[in-house]
Amino acid sequence: MRAAVLRETGGPLTVEDVELAAPGPGEVTVRLAASGVCHSDWNVVTGATSNPLPAVLGHEGAGVIEAVGAGVTDVAEGDHVILSWLPSCGSCFYCVEGRGVLCEVAMADMFAGTLPGGSLALSQNGEPLYHYSYLSAFAERCVVPAGCCVPIRRDAPLEVAALVGCAVMTGLGAAVLRARVAPGSAAVVFGAGGVGLSAILGCKLAGARSIVAADPVAFKRETALRLGATHAADPTGEDVAALARELTGGRGADYAFDTAGAPGVVAQAYDAVRRGGTIVAVGLPPEGATADLPAPALVREEKVVTGSFYGSCRPHVDMPLVVDLYMEGRLDLDALVSRTYPLELVNEAFAAMNAGEVARAVIRF
Ligand SMILES: [Zn+2]
Ligand SMILES: [Zn+2]
């Protein structure tokens, strides 16, 4: 089958013929219909995130189950599924506590670039190829743990479903599940890419009264306004915190989200919220980066600084719900699919993402 392989840090990806093993016990083969191109993949290309190489990237996919391995009973051939890149183990401290995105077992395997237990389903001429975030969805097919498969209704378009597997769930979940945005509140969203736009959709769904989108790219600000932001600002030339205060009688926003993960943005988000407000870090900065916050204010103002990983979601509960909301016309996820590309043009899709030309570029198989 064809797959986009990253052979060395810096790239480019090369689309090659690779071999995929049959699904082992507890595993499933999925034929991919679509795969979104995400900044987290790019972090592997640049080396900001480490993953063993050579590897097949891609972690935002949806498709149809083609085969199931021994012992798989939750899903069956023909099911339409969103791929979740965080199959929680169900039995570690965090899973038992009900916070599967913090699962310590899943996290360890993810960084090893393998399937659970250290096995690899990908190879080429007998040489191993590593997985990325369990999925390796820049390929015609993938073999994944059954727990990565989230069944969804069959009438939902799989291009949109793919985005629910990462960007949409991450952004929308940060607003709805982590911050628990309240009706009538004020929010600022830094970064209006796929995740930031999804956070804006989440704020709108939750009934926020004002939503400020802060992004240096005009196309992204325009898309944000179309999706429900009430105001948009260019943080390189405008004082976003001042705008937030202006909209809230001088206090500041109730919530601010950093979906960019760029240096200094958490501090800007901190500045934009009122006393007692909530700052949610969503965009993943490079390994080793730190966030600099005003320490006396941290004490006196009682602001809450937290992170949100994968939208703090429970994939099997929240992803089908997001798809239902989309199908009922309550979430405009179509606007996120800016362009589709064949797998052969995966490097062009990354270039469009890095140039800020797209909300999301999607590989269609
Ligand atoms: Zn992603
Ligand atoms: Zn666990």
* Separation of CA 156 and ligand 1 centre (Å): 20
**In the 8-state DSSP scheme, what is residue 175?**
I
Q: Is the pLDDT of residue 287 over 90?
A: no
> Residue 300: pLDDT above 90?
yes
Task: Give the pLDDT score at 117.
Answer: 85
| Ligand (nearest to CA of 163) | 1
Hey, what are 164's tokens? 């629910």
Task: Give the per-residue pLDDT at 106.
Answer: 87
Q: Is the peptide bond before 263 cis (omega within 30 degrees of 0)?
A: no
- At residue 113, what is the residue type? G
250's torsion region: left (phi>0), alpha (psi -120 to 50) or beta? Answer: left
Q: Lowest mean pLDDT: which of 38-42, 105-109, 320-324? A: 105-109
115 Cα–ligand 2 center, Å: 15
- Domain ranges in the chain are 2-151+332-364, 171-308
Q: Please tell me the distance between residue 82's alpha carbon and the centre of ligand 2 in angstroms.
A: 20
Cα–ligand 2 centroid distance for 6 (angstroms): 29
Please check whether residue 114 is in contact with residue 130, taking contact to mean a CB–CB distance below 8 angstroms: yes
Q: Which ligand is nearest to the CA of 193?
A: 1
Q: Mind giving me the DSSP string for 11-65?
A: --EEEEE-EEPPP-TTEEEEEEEEEE--HHHHHHHHTSS---SSEE----EEEEE
User: DSSP letter string over 228-296?
Assistant: T-SEEE-TTTS-HHHHHHHTTTTS-EEEEEE-S--TTHHHHHHHHEEEEEEEEE-S-PPTT------HH
Ligand 2 centroid from CA 99, angstroms: 8
Mean pLDDT for 246-250 is 98
User: From the CA of 107, how far away is ligand 2's center (Å)?
Assistant: 9
* Assigned CATH class of 171-308: alpha beta
CA of 195 from ligand 1 middle (Å) equals 9
Q: Please, what's the b/e burial string for 172-188 (b: 16 or more CB within 10 A of its CB; e: otherwise)?
A: bbbbbbbbebeeebbbb
pLDDT exceeds 90 at position 286? no
> Which residues on neighbouring strands pair with residue 20, listed in sequence order?
122
Among all bound ligands, the one having the nearest atom to the CA of 86 is 2
DSSP string across 131-174: -STTT--SBSEEEEEGGGEEE--TTS-HHHHHHIIIIIHHHHHI
At 97-143, the pLDDT tens digits run 999 999 998 888 888 999 988 999 999 999 999 999 999 999 999 99
Predicted TM-score (pTM) of the model is: 0.96
Q: Name the 3-class secondary structure at 3.
A: strand
Residue 298 Cα to ligand 1 middle (Å):
30
Q: What separation in Å is there between the alpha carbon of 106 and the centre of ligand 2?
A: 6
Question: Hey, what are 232's tokens?
Answer: 């948009």
Whole-number Å distance, alpha carbon 300 to ligand 1 midpoint, is 35
Would you state the pLDDT for residue 111?
A: 86
Q: What angle do CA 361, 204, 161 make, to 5 degrees?
A: 35
Closest CA to 316 of 151, 73, 111, 108: 151
Fold for 2-151+332-364, please state it.
Quinone Oxidoreductase; Chain A, domain 1 (3.90.180)
| C-beta of residue 191 within 8 angstroms of C-beta of residue 214 | yes
Q: Which ligand is nearest to the CA of 102?
A: 2
Question: What is the 87 CA–ligand 2 centroid distance (Å)?
Answer: 8
The rounded Å distance from CA 237 to ligand 2 centre is 44
Q: What residues have a C-beta under 5 A from ligand 1, the ion? A: 38, 40, 166
Which ligand neighbours the alpha carbon of 116 most closely? 2
CA 77 to centroid of ligand 1, rounded, Å: 26
Question: Comparing C-alpha atoms, which of 282, 361, 317 is closest to residue 58?
Answer: 361
User: How is 100-131 classified by DSSP, letter by letter?
Assistant: GGG-HHHHHHHHHTSSGGG---EEETTEE-B-
pLDDT value of residue 13: 97
Q: Which secondary structure element, helix H or strand E, spans residue 223, and what is its range? A: helix 218-227
Model confidence at 19, pLDDT cuts 50, 70, 90, reads: very high
CA of 167 to the centre of ligand 1 (A): 6
User: Residue 157 CB: number of other CB atoms within 10 A?
Assistant: 16
Please classify residue 98 by burial: count the beta carbons closer than 10 Å to its beta carbon, then call 0-12 exposed, 13-18 middle and 19+ buried: exposed
Q: How far is the CA of 104 from the centre of ligand 2 (A)?
A: 5
Residue range 163-198, pLDDT digits in tens: 999 999 999 999 999 999 999 999 999 999 999 999
- pLDDT tens, position by position, 191-222: 999 999 999 999 999 999 999 999 999 999 99
Tell me how far apart the alpha carbons of residues 76 and 319 are, in angstroms, rounded to a whole number.
18
With 90 as the cut, is the pLDDT of residue 32 above it?
A: yes
Q: Give pLDDT, residue 244.
A: 98
